[in-house]
Amino acid sequence: MKRCVMVSGGQDSRILHQMLLKDYPDIVSVNIRKPNGMDVFDADVVIDHMAHGGSTYKGTLYTVEQKLIPNYDEIWVASNKTPEEDWFKNHAEAPVRGELLSKYPGKFKTPYQEMYKWEVLQIAIDNKIDLTGTYSCVRRPKEQKHCRTCWFCKERELAYTKLGLEVYWE
Ligand SMILES: [Zn+2]
């Protein structure tokens, strides 16, 4: 069984990767390098984003279909549940998640799909997973620090707030 876990540099994929290593020490971490170069991140395998369909998102799906689907039996993804608040539901940056799941039955494993980010963060706390260096922002490269206003920064902030913790901004 060839398994990989998609890692983005964010918290959820760090947590999923660390949890999976307990059961599957040989699982391969894969990072798709974003076309704007913002998302360079350490992983066992780094693959280049393939342009397709006129958007970064469509290109990512295409890259997964071309590079991961043929090469791995199981692809683990840390997608979680979008917060219920209107601001998150209606935001232009709100991520679309799970589009390939029904197209490739059994291929993807998404254990956090029905969990909110703060519930995933709780897993990190319970398991003492180090989140140092994780980065959520989609608007600014890491060296410029979190913008704290984009969808992903706000989701990060909300997760810590829900748990009654001070927000960890890298
Ligand atoms: Zn941001």
DSSP result, 63-75: HIIIIITTT-SEE
Output the six-digit token pair for 10: 């964010």
Taking residues 63-87, report their average pLDDT. Answer: 96
pTM of the complete model: 0.93
Report residue 110 CA to chain centroid gap: 11
User: How far apart are the CA of 111 and the centre of ligand 1, in A?
Assistant: 25
The CATH class of 3-130 is alpha beta
Task: Please write the tens of the pLDDT for every residue from 7-46.
Answer: 988 999 999 999 999 999 999 999 998 776 665 567 999 9
Strands (E), the chain: 3-6, 28-33, 45-48, 74-76, 108-109
Whole-number Å distance, alpha carbon 154 to ligand 1 midpoint, is 7
Task: Sort strands 3-6 and 74-76 into parallel, antiparallel or unpaired.
Answer: parallel
Report CA(93)–ligand 1 centroid distance (Å): 10
Angstrom distance (rounded) from CA 141 to CA 38: 5
Q: 133: CA distance to ligand 1 center in Å? A: 15
Residue 103 Cα, ligand 1 centroid: separation in angstroms?
Answer: 31
Q: What number is the average pLDDT over the span 149-166?
A: 97
CA of 107 to the centre of ligand 1 (A): 31
d(CA 90, CA 103): 26
Domain ranges (residues) in the chain: 3-130
Distance between Cα 159 and ligand 1 center (Å) = 14
